Structure 1
Amino acid sequence: MAPIRRFRGLIFGLALLAGCEPKRPEPPPTPVDPPSAERDKPEPTAFTLEPLAFSDLEDWETASIEPAFSAFSRSCSKLFNRDPDSLLSERAPYGGQVKDWLPACRILPKYQHASEFKRFFEDYFVPNRILTNQNINKLTGYYEPELQAAYKPTGTLTAAIPTRPDDLIEVRLGDFEESLGNRRLWGKVDGNQLVLYPPRAEIETAPGKAIGFADPADVFFLQIQGSGRVRFPDGKSVRAGFSAHNHRPFGSLANHLLETGEITRAEAGMTGLRAWLARVGTDRARAAMNVNPRFIWFRETPIEDPSLGPEGAAGIPLTPMGSVAIDLDQHPLGVPIMVRTRLPERPGKSQDDTSSLLLVAQDTGGAIKGAQRGDIFFGWGDEAGGLAGSMNLPGQFFVFLPQKIEAEPEISE
């Protein structure tokens, strides 16, 4: 067996920048004990990757990999347009250089049948078990909501699906410091300073700055998920994709209602939260939603392929059960990651036994922190939402690296 290699996350001196890139907020918790803030903070220690043989992977023969094969193919299309000598990720350099991944990407089209997909990964990759003393080990799920909307406020469809306001300023940090890459932040000008945009309770959407109008609870949960499909009465469907946020911290509606005794733990899922919002009336519902100061603006885009999800942080359409959001300080985008856990078999019910699922890192999220923290994309619509809301369990994580990278010596800070 090859020697265990140790990797350390990059240390950034400016803590302010930790939340500066466009990240999808964390979904509301499912009815489990909410983790403390301290327990959810990843420790800044190294993690190791232990090379394994595919025969060492329990459940590999029965693992679901077809969605990941398609997702990896889309990641390859991005790599062909990059500098081969550049690092796959500056922040997670264990991924090696782009050129290390190109042989697998070039040969991938020759594997055309589902029966060959496992052999593709066996031929060109080495699985690596993640070993870490970080406290966090959790897999959650997210999805793309589908909203019924109107072109103007009508009946219960009164909340704007907001687009960027004119006074929102975007800063691309890489223009000022190359090492910050394509990280971005948003704010507003106050005198000669760029300051934080106001919290949710103080934001009003100006006329003409909305994709459409929907139920207030639907818009609230759309902002939590970060994107969604919007359907109008005339049959037109568009995507409300993430555009910007106000950099305010994410506040959990479910935790707030649990702490104030408004709901029980059994009601802390999506269905229970929606029922509470509908029951208490407009003013109380709005006040409760304002407990989450983070606010998301959207951009309207066409739905070119209804079988694919929205674009993730990698700029690639997400694949249901094939894409995962990860911590970009721990893992590069584009890396295949196999997880072993108990997946939901229906809303509110997890499988009795563990199974393995291969995913590709193609997105990130504001609360996705740690080497063993992932958010699985389940798809779109109510069914996907029910399954995504039921995913909240620990798991084993295995990173797949091209064979050349596996053979290289130890990498450290």
Structure 2
Amino acid sequence: MTMFPGRGRWWMAAAILGALVGCASLQYPPVAPVPPEPAANAPAATPVPSSASSPGDKPVLTRARSRWVGAAWTDLPGWEFDSTAELWPALLRSCEKPGPDWTKLCADAQKLTTITDGSVRVFLQNRVQPWRVETLDGATDGLMTGYYEPLVEASRVPRGAFRIPLYAPPADLATRKPYWTRQQLDTVRAAQAALRGREIAYIADPLDALVLQIQGSGRLQLTEADGTRKLLRVAFAAHNDQPYKSVGRWLIDQGEMTLEQASWPSIKAWARKNPKRLNEMLWANPRVIFFREEPLPDPQLGPKGGQGVPLTPGRSIAVDTQSIPYGTPVWVDATEPLSATPLRRAVMAQDTGTAITGAVRADYFWGWGETAEQQAGRMKQPLRLWVLWPRS
């Protein structure tokens, strides 16, 4: 889950849950599957003899942290029922920054004028090849977590309950490495002086501030000093070079909850019951994120992920780029966290994070708002993956 490209993205761990703990529309008739073809256009990978790693004669490609095994469209559970047209905007955004293997496909995609589930499905089946993603030792099962963009009420000036500041980078950030810790910024006069005048906005709940920092960006429903209201985004600008420590892990180590109990709703409930220990919990994580303010001209666009293109709710994921390159369509087979409803759909690999590592690993972007928060905060689901790579 990452909203600040190219900076290591400490926070994106297992999105909200993993980072805190540390650890339908009209359906079209099924389209006849296109038989798989061995892909000569290897995705920066080295072919491995099938007899060494894959039963039968299925082609195998290896990457740094995964191997891909040739598959048929019928191997993708639920492929014929996906609302595939919903993928199209996300795919076109990835095509704004295509990799070398995607140039021709993206040029063809931009010419497609009729966008329906059926036309998109046929387009993909004619141009890409499914590959099952496995670990290097052949395991096909993995993990999908979720992340989201917080939406928080804020005030441009301190008033009433709105007393928790979100800061732009301090002027002396580059002169002190590592910079002040979270606790020092709250308690040391010299540290507090360095932040004076760097306030972007004020929010009411310190836990909301923590979530904004974990997620790396967020939306503010801001009340200006004159009372006018506007929606804007705060995005990652810098951090204090301190190590990230999970508050969920701290609560587990303190014996306040078990690993199975740890979720963002549980952490918030603990904080409400233990207000005198709130700072102790927050200070357990010395890392602080500084933000920059960005306009939000189109509220339907998500923040930019690691690929540098806006994320699409329900159609963007974060991956390990040593397993799956940016801009790759991916078929996910998982379940939703609150209902165990099958979550089977085509998504785009458009983001990454330092804790999103391994072959069969994804972080699912839920979007923004209360439902997105609830889903992301509890998502820790079994996962299988297929990449859809251009044919030669």
Alignment partner of 1:324: what SS? Answer: strand
* Deviations 1:236-267, CA, capped at 9 Å, x for gaps: 22101122223433322122112212235575
Q: What residue is the counterpart of 2:302 in the other structure? A: 309
Q: What residue is the counterpart of 1:334 in the other structure? A: 327
The gaps in structure 1 that reach 5 residues or longer are: 1-18, 36-43, 80-87, 89-95, 169-187, 405-413
CA distance in 1, matches of 2:358, 2:259: 26
| 2:373 matches 1:385 | yes
Q: What residue is the counterpart of 1:128 in the other structure? A: 131
CA distance in 2, matches of 1:289, 1:34: 15
Q: What residue is the counterpart of 1:76 in the other structure? A: 95
Q: What displacement does 1:120 show?
A: 1.7
Provide closer, same or farther for how the CA distance between residues 24 and 357 of structure 1 changes in structure 2, counting only shifts above 3 A: farther
CA distance in 1, matches of 2:304, 2:21: 31
Provide closer, same or farther for how the CA distance between residues 320 and 262 of structure 1 changes in structure 2, counting only shifts above 3 A: same
Q: What residue is the counterpart of 1:155 in the other structure? A: 160
Check the 8 A contact 1:22/1:244 in 2, yes or no.
Answer: no
* Deviations 1:214-237, CA, capped at 9 Å, x for gaps: 121110111111111111233222
Q: What residue is the counterpart of 2:76 in the other structure? A: 57
* Deviations 1:100-134, CA, capped at 9 Å, x for gaps: 54444344x33422332211211211111112147
Q: What displacement does 1:305 show?
A: 0.9
Alignment partner of 1:149: what SS? Answer: strand
Check the 8 A contact 1:59/1:356 in 2, yes or no.
Answer: yes
Check the 8 A contact 1:64/1:356 in 2, yes or no.
Answer: no
CA distance in 2, matches of 1:298, 1:34: 23
| 2:207 matches 1:217 | yes
Match of 2:384 among 378, 386, 396: 396
Question: Aligned ranges for residues 110-189 of structure 1 at < 5 Å?
Answer: 110-133=113-136, 137-168=142-173, 188-189=174-175
Question: Aligned ranges for residues 199-214 of structure 1 at < 5 Å?
Answer: 199-203=181-185, 204=192, 206-214=195-203
Check the 8 A contact 1:65/1:359 in 2, yes or no.
Answer: no
**Aligned-residue CA RMSD in angstroms?**
2.7
Match of 2:221 among 226, 231, 242: 231
TM-score for the superposition, normalised by structure 1: 0.73
Question: Aligned ranges for residues 280-295 of structure 1 at < 5 Å?
Answer: 280-281=274-275, 284-295=277-288
Provide closer, same or farther for how the CA distance between residues 227 and 33 of structure 1 changes in structure 2, counting only shifts above 3 A: closer
CA distance in 2, matches of 1:45, 1:266: 32
CA distance in 2, matches of 1:389, 1:118: 32
The gaps in structure 2 that reach 5 residues or longer are: 1-5, 24-62, 186-191
CA distance in 2, matches of 1:70, 1:253: 36
Q: What displacement does 1:209 show?
A: 1.1
The percent of aligned pairs where both chains have the same amino acid is: 33
Alignment partner of 1:165: what SS? Answer: coil
Aligned length: 333
Check the 8 A contact 1:100/1:402 in 2, yes or no.
Answer: no
Q: What displacement does 1:23 show?
A: 5.4
Check the 8 A contact 2:90/2:312 in 1, yes or no.
Answer: yes
Provide closer, same or farther for how the CA distance between residues 29 and 120 of structure 1 changes in structure 2, counting only shifts above 3 A: same
Check the 8 A contact 1:65/1:322 in 2, yes or no.
Answer: no
**Segment drifting more, 252-261 vs 199-208:** 199-208
Provide closer, same or farther for how the CA distance between residues 29 and 68 of structure 1 changes in structure 2, counting only shifts above 3 A: same
TM-score for the superposition, normalised by structure 2: 0.77
- Runs of 4 or more, structure 1, over 4 Å off, are 32-35, 264-267
Q: What displacement does 1:314 show?
A: 1.7
| 2:356 matches 1:368 | yes
Check the 8 A contact 1:142/1:388 in 2, yes or no.
Answer: yes
Provide closer, same or farther for how the CA distance between residues 60 and 114 of structure 1 changes in structure 2, counting only shifts above 3 A: closer
Amino acid of the residue matched to residue 115 of structure 1?
G
CA distance in 2, matches of 1:56, 1:263: 40
Provide closer, same or farther for how the CA distance between residues 111 and 246 of structure 1 changes in structure 2, counting only shifts above 3 A: farther
Match of 2:344 among 349, 356, 368: 356
Q: What displacement does 1:140 show?
A: 0.3
Q: What displacement does 1:25 show?
A: 2.8
Amino acid of the residue matched to residue 362 of structure 1?
Q
